[in-house]
């Protein structure tokens, strides 16, 4: 399985593969190949552009085996409430990684969701992309549906949009929509670009409407759609293309 969820293995050019394995720079690796010092699956290979299938092909340099490179994998999980996002917990609560036993690569969550929050969580072993998405200055948009206590009025929506004070600092402008007001509760959709600890819960607390239930439905260009609770799927090629191109918002919400 590739990062894109299809059956075609991810490939890298031989010189790029050697560079990513830390053997040499790309150019240096190209020279090693042209000099006939590199074998692929037991055969000398002199073309630096030869595609190498990650996790499948066996590469040797000067007779020494190069550890097989793992393909990058990217998955979207619909996290249920009642699970933590870290790998281990002193209280031994269930973790989201318990849901990923079929994934053979060690992925990490891109950011966190609270124990009692459900919804879209991105997991990957691509550290560069994860870092990009988590850097606050990149302002990746996150969309949450929050069921809050009480009847929210238009003024409160404006307050949340303009920014409220958390720990003495005003939150960045947000987009907030009132989706409905059943008895004694309100359903809000909040689009925010920050990811402070308990951000949405604290924003709603400040305006006097504590969160009863929270669900993230979008992260950057990714949309949760109808992925069942507790299930994961690999990102599609289009989703990955958007993420890599730095798209920070979701067209579906």
Q: Which residues are catalytic?
A: 114
Q: How far is the CB of 186 from ligand URA (least distance, A)?
A: 16
φ and ψ of 129, to 5 deg: -65, -40
Min CB(171)–ligand URA separation in Å = 11
Nearer to ligand URA, 89 or 238 (CB): 89
CB nearer ligand URA, residue 73 or residue 143: 143
Scored b (16 or more CB within 10 A) or e, 96-110 reads bbebbeebebebbbb
Smallest distance, ligand URA to C-beta of residue 78, A: 14
Output 54 or 160, the one with its CB closest to ligand URA. Answer: 160
With the C-alpha atoms ordered 56, 58, 59, 65, is the resulting torsion angle positive or negative?
A: positive
Q: In this complex, which beta carbon is closest to ligand URA, that of residue 66 or of residue 200?
A: 200
Burial grade of 55 (CB within 10 A; 0-12, 13-18, 19 or more)? middle
Q: Least CB distance from residue 240 to ligand URA, whole Å?
A: 24
In whole angstroms, how close is the CB of 148 to ligand URA at the nearest point?
Answer: 11
Nearer to ligand URA, 145 or 239 (CB): 145
Query: Which residue lies nearer to ligand URA by CB, 72 or 201?
Result: 201
Q: How far is the CB of 165 from ligand URA (least distance, A)?
A: 16
Report the DSSP beta bridge partners of residue 79. 119
Residues that bind ligand URA (CB under 6 A): 113-114, 117, 198-201, 214
């Amino acid at each position: 399985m590739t990062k894109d969820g299809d059956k075609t293995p991810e490939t890298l050019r031989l010189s790029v593969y050697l560079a990513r394995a830390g053997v040499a720079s790309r150019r240096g690796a190209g020279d090693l190949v042209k000099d006939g010092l590199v074998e692929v699956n037991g055969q000398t290979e002199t073309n630096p552009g030869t595609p190498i299938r990650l996790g499948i092909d066996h590469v040797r340099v000067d007779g020494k085996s190069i550890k097989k490179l793992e393909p990058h994998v990217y998955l979207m999980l619909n996290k249920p409430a009642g699970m933590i996002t870290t790998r281990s917990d002193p209280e031994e609560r269930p973790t989201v990684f318990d849901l990923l036993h079929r994934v053979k690569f060690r992925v990490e969550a891109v950011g966190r969701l609270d124990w009692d929050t459900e919804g879209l969580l991105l997991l990957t072993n691509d550290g560069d992309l994860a870092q990009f998405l988590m850097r606050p200055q990149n302002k990746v948009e996150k969309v949450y549906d929050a069921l809050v206590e009480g009847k929210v009025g238009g003024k409160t929506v404006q307050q949340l949009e303009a920014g409220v004070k958390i720990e003495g600092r005003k939150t960045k402008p947000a987009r907030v929509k009132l989706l409905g007001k059943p008895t004694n509760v309100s359903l809000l959709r909040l689009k925010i670009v920050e990811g402070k600890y308990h951000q949405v819960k604290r924003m709603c607390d400040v305006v006097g409407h504590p969160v009863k239930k929270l669900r993230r439905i979008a992260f950057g260009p990714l949309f949760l759609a109808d992925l069942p609770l507790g299930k994961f799927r690999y990102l599609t090629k289009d989703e990955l293309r958007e993420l890599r191109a730095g798209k920070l918002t979701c067209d579906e919400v």
